[in-house]
Structure 1
Amino acid sequence: MNLLELLILAVGLSMDACAVAVCKGLSFRKITPKHLITVGLYFGIFQAVMPLIGYILGIQFSDKITSIDHWIAFVLLGIIGIHMMKEALSKDEESCCGEEKDNSLSFKNMVVLAIATSIDALAVGITFAFLKVDIIPAVSFIGLVTFTLSVIGVLIGNIFGAKFKSKAELAGGIILVCLGIKILLQHLGILG
Structure 2
Amino acid sequence: MNYLSVIFLAFAMSTDAFAAAIGKGATLHKPKLREALRTGLIFGVIEGITPVIGWAIGLSAARYITAWDHWIAFTLLLVLGGRMILAGLRKPDEAEQKPTKHTFWVLAVTAFATSIDALAVGVGLAFIDVNIASAAVTIGLATMLMVTVGVMLGRVVGKAIGQRAEMIGGVVLIIVGATIVYQHLHAA
Cα drift, residue 55 of structure 1:
2.2
Unaligned 5+ segments in structure 1 are: 29-34
Where does 1:1-192 land on structure 2 (aligned, <5 Å)? 10-25=14-29, 28=30, 36-88=32-84, 90-93=85-88, 101-103=98-100, 111-112=104-105, 114-132=107-125, 134-158=135-159, 160-186=161-187, 188=188
Given the two structures, how large is their TM-score scaled by the length of structure 1? Answer: 0.67
Structure 2: how far apart are the matches of 1:158 and 1:167? 12
Unaligned 5+ segments in structure 2 are: 126-131
1:56-79 C-alpha deviation (Å, 9 max, x unpaired): 222222322123332132322332
The count of aligned residue pairs is 173
Q: Over the residues paired in the alignment, what is the CA RMSD in angstroms?
A: 3.6
**2:46·2:112 contact (CA, 8 Å) conserved in 1?**
yes
Structure 2: how far apart are the matches of 1:6 and 1:12? 11
Cα drift, residue 38 of structure 1:
0.7
Secondary structure, counterpart of 2:86 in structure 1 = coil
Secondary structure, counterpart of 1:123 in structure 2 = helix
Cα drift, residue 129 of structure 1:
1.4
Cα drift, residue 81 of structure 1:
3.8
1:32-90 C-alpha deviation (Å, 9 max, x unpaired): xxx531121011111111122222222222322123332132322332343344335x4
Given the two structures, how large is their TM-score scaled by the length of structure 2? Answer: 0.68
Cα drift, residue 151 of structure 1:
0.6
